[in-house]
């Protein structure tokens, strides 16, 4: 299968339009599920505007907060209140104002052994399995309704870095990553590709001219982590014009 199979690319004018389009995807996924909804968030700077938008009345009033659960696809291995912590960023921008505390599922970096991200990953794996209600996936029942993703300058996504053994993990749901390829250079915990794939929709947000070089490589099909991450359902890339490769003609 070619790396770009099963990927829809949606281009938008600017980061504002990107956040608004992503917010509509969040609303659509919550509306499509009458039961318990699971959304896996991402860190980095790209989703910040989306998170702020979700906290505004226009969106906030349309999200069934009591039945939506929020997870995180990767975490920097720093305490929960450290500004570098991905879930802390999501909390500060919308979750703490909108979501019931019991529906927020951070990767437990603070309670785990501070020298061992694998231990923290194992605890999160247990939490995910308990939420899902099984130790193995049923293809017909994805873990997440929506998984948000970003792309790093080296083609990493979540904390799955090029050449890292974590990319080939098929058994564990989450793993420790001792060394990050990009700033901040702290250990990480990341969900693995099969777990991230277990979703109805995987939605990448990519914005800004500094992403154009890596998008050119990714859209050319290079074997990089962001090209290996895809949903068993839909995989959608939201890209703003400034990030779009010059030779892009649609996919």
* Residue numbers at the binding site for ligand 6PG (CB under 6 A): 42-46, 74, 76, 86, 150-152, 156-159
Beta carbon of residue 175, minimum distance to ligand 6PG (angstroms, whole number)? 14
Of 33 and 216, which CB lies nearer to ligand 6PG in the complex structure?
A: 216
Strand ordering across the sheet containing 188-191: 74-76, 188-191, 174-177
Of 11 and 33, which CB lies nearer to ligand 6PG in the complex structure?
A: 11
Beta carbon of residue 140, minimum distance to ligand 6PG (angstroms, whole number)? 28
- Tokens 């799955």 label which residue? 160
Beta carbon of residue 243, minimum distance to ligand 6PG (angstroms, whole number)? 10
Beta carbon of residue 63, minimum distance to ligand 6PG (angstroms, whole number)? 22
Whether 242 contacts 209, CB under 8 Å: yes
Of 40 and 112, which CB lies nearer to ligand 6PG in the complex structure?
A: 40
Of 150 and 233, which CB lies nearer to ligand 6PG in the complex structure?
A: 150
Of 33 and 52, which CB lies nearer to ligand 6PG in the complex structure?
A: 52
Beta carbon of residue 46, minimum distance to ligand 6PG (angstroms, whole number)? 3
């Amino acid at each position: 299968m070619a790396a770009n199979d099963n990927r829809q690319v949606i281009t938008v004018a600017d980061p504002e339009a990107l956040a608004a389009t992503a917010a509509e995807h969040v609303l659509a996924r919550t509306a499509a599920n009458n039961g318990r909804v699971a959304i896996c968030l991402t860190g980095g700077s790209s989703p910040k505007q989306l998170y702020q938008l979700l906290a505004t009345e226009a969106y906030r009033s349309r999200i069934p907060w009591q039945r939506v659960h929020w997870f995180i696809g990767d975490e920097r291995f720093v305490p929960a209140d450290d500004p570098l912590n991905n879930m802390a960023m999501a909390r500060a921008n919308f979750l703490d104002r909108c979501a019931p505390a019991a529906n927020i599922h951070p990767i437990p970096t603070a309670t785990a052994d501070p020298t061992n991200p694998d231990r923290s990953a194992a605890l999160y794996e247990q939490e995910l399995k308990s939420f899902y209600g099984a130790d193995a996936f049923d293809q017909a029942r994805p873990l997440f309704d929506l998984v948000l993703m970003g792309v790093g300058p080296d083609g990493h996504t979540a904390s799955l870095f090029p050449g890292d053994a974590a990319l080939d993990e098929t058994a564990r749901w989450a793993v420790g990553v001792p060394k990050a390829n990009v700033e901040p250079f702290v250990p990480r915990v990341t969900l693995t590709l099969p777990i991230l794939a277990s979703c109805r929709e995987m939605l990448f947000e990519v914005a800004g001219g500094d992403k154009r070089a890596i998008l050119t490589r990714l859209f050319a099909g290079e074997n990089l982590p962001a090209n290996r991450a895809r949903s068993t359902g839909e995989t959608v890339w939201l890209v703003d014009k400034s990030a779009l490769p010059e030779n892009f003609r649609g996919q």
